[in-house]
Amino acid sequence: MPGSRAVQLPGPQPSVPHPVQDALAAQLPQLQAEAEALRAEHRAARERSPWWALHRLGAGWAGQGSTGRGGQPPYRTVAASRQQRSCSGMFSGGSAHWLVQRAVHTGWSRAGSTPGRHTLFTLVGVMGWGVLDLLQLTALPWGCQRGWLGLLLHRYGSARRRLPGALGSAPHLPGHVAGDQGFDPLGLAADPAVFARLAASPRVHSYLAEDHLLRPPAVYPFPAAVSAW
């Protein structure tokens, strides 16, 4: 039209590299293999364990069921599913989402059996994903876990704790409470500054140690790929 001005719309913006997603996605094949092996190990140990009957009883009492859909870990509540979506901005993409969910399983399995070898559970756990496998693991009498007692203590223990060290100013709720409420304990999805502090910290205390599920001091070094953030 005469006298009208064309509006120049902005073109597609270049994708910004995401070091967190890149670091995790680079470990995806290894974590897939480890998680599958650990799931098989857990299934076998679970069937042999006298604690599993108690675990199933407690799961039924809580109305959760003892197994997840499609081989997923138990205790995946609707609120926990919302928590996954709330973190999707930080870990965009299907493969990264898949990795975040499985990394909890792999990390905590390693932490329970050989402390110090893996800490992806710390990164994922402080975002509220502790609920997924912690209850399943603590129901098994492995290593320094506490079986049924640990399950009850973690489920009904003190409601609020603080992480020491670099994350000391950020309050959080322990595993199952955090997952039940769909709560992002450290606000990582909304607070890039807190996430940057986590990325800059070479060592982070696991809040599993805070809940006495691992032997103190339970300080785990980050893997090299994660330390490179």
CA distance 129 to 71: 17
DSSP bridge partners of 174: none
In tens, the pLDDT along 18-52 reads: 554 555 556 556 655 655 665 566 566 656 666 56
Per-residue pLDDT, 47: 65
Q: What is the mean pLDDT of residues 49-57?
A: 60
> How many Å apart are CA 41 and CA 186, to the nearest integer?
32
Q: Where are the domains of the chain?
A: 79-227
The three-state secondary structure class of 50 is: coil
Q: Model's pTM, two decimal places?
A: 0.23
Q: With pLDDT > 90 as the criterion, what percentage of the chain qualifies?
A: 0
Query: What local confidence, expressed as pLDDT, does residue 173 receive?
Result: 29
Q: Which of 7-16, 140-149, 173-182 is predicted with the least confidence, judged by mean pLDDT?
A: 173-182
How many CA atoms within 13 Å lie on the side-chain side of 195?
19
70 strand-pairing partners? none
Closest CA to 227 of 196, 202, 195: 202
Per-residue pLDDT at 144 = 31
Handedness of CA 33, 106, 82, 12 (dihedral sign): negative
> What is the average pLDDT across 173-198?
36
- Report the pLDDT value the prediction gives residue 2, as an integer from 0 to 100: 54
Q: Which comes out higher in pLDDT, residue 115 or 46?
A: 46
The residue ranges of DSSP E strands in the chain, in sequence order, are 161-162, 171-172, 203-205, 219-221
pLDDT score, position 154: 41
Q: Which residue has the higher pLDDT, 1 or 180?
A: 1
Over range 201-219, report the average pLDDT: 32
> What's the whole-number mean pLDDT along residues 140-160?
36
